Chains A and B, each alone.
Chain A
Amino acid sequence: MEQKMICDKDFYWKLFKSTFLISAFTVGGGFVIVPLLKAKFVDEYHWLDDKETLTMVSVAQSAPGVVAVNSAIIMGYKMAGMSGAFCATLATVLPPLIILTIVSYFYSFFATNHYVQLVLKGMQCGATALILQVMYDLLKKQWKKRVAFPIVITIGTFLANYFFNFNMMYIVLVDALIGLFLLQDKKYD
Chain B
Amino acid sequence: MIYWLLFCSFCWVGVFCVGGGYASVPLIQHQVIELHHWLTMPEFLDVFAISQMTPGPIGINAATFVGTKIAGLGGAIVATLGFVTPSFIIMIGLAKLLTKYGDVGAIRGILNGLRPAVIGLIASAGVMFFTLAIWNTQKIPNSLASTDLSGLLVLTLAFIAVKKKIFGVIQTLIAAGILNLALAFIIK
Contacts and interface: CB of A to CB of B under 8 A. Distances in A.
B58 interface: yes
Contacts of A156: 120
B115 interface: yes
B50 A124 contact: no
Interface in B144-187: 151, 154-156, 158-159, 161-163, 168-170, 172-181, 184
Considering residues B95, B102, B122, B174, which has the most beta carbons from chain A within 10 angstroms of its beta carbon? B122
Contact of A96 (B24, B54, B173): B54
Q: By DSSP majority rule, is chain A's interface helix, strand, loop, or mixed?
A: helix
Contacts of B61: 96, 100
Interface residues of B, number: 91
Contacts of A183: 109, 112-113
B3 interface: no
B181 A129 contact: no
B159 A154 contact: no
A131 to B, nearest CB: 4
B15 interface: yes
B154 A122 contact: yes
Nearest to B63: A97
A121 interface: yes
B84 A93 contact: yes
Interface in A61-83: 61-70, 73-74, 77-78, 82
Given A77-B92, A127-B173, A179-B109, A158 B124 contact: yes
B130 A132 contact: yes
A46 to B, nearest CB: 14
A118 B184 contact: yes
A26 B162 CA distance: 15
A138 interface: yes
Given A61-B118, A131-B125, A68 B19 contact: no
Contacts of A110: 50, 53
B177 to A, nearest CB: 4
A182 interface: yes
B170 A129 contact: no
B64 A25 contact: no
Interface residues of A, number: 106
Nearest to B88: A73
Contacts of B57: 29-30, 66, 68-69, 96
Given A39-B169, A119-B178, A169-B19, A73 B87 contact: yes
Interface of B: 14-21, 23-24, 46, 49-51, 53-61, 64-65, 68, 73, 76-77, 80, 84, 86-88, 90-92, 94-95, 98, 102, 105-106, 108-130, 132-133, 151, 154-156, 158-159, 161-163, 168-170, 172-181, 184
17 contacts: A25-B55, A26-B55, A28-B129, A51-B115, A59-B98, A59-B111, A62-B114, A73-B88, A73-B92, A121-B180, A123-B173, A127-B129, A138-B119, A161-B120, A162-B123, A179-B111, A184-B105
Q: Which 8 A-B pairs have the closest CB atoms?
A: A179-B113, A96-B56, A122-B180, A126-B176, A157-B120, A65-B87, A58-B114, A129-B158
Interface of A: 18, 21-32, 34-36, 39-40, 44, 51, 54-70, 73-74, 77-78, 82, 85, 89, 93, 95-97, 99-101, 103-104, 107, 110-111, 115, 118-135, 138-139, 142, 150-151, 153-158, 161-162, 167-169, 171-172, 175-184, 186, 188-189
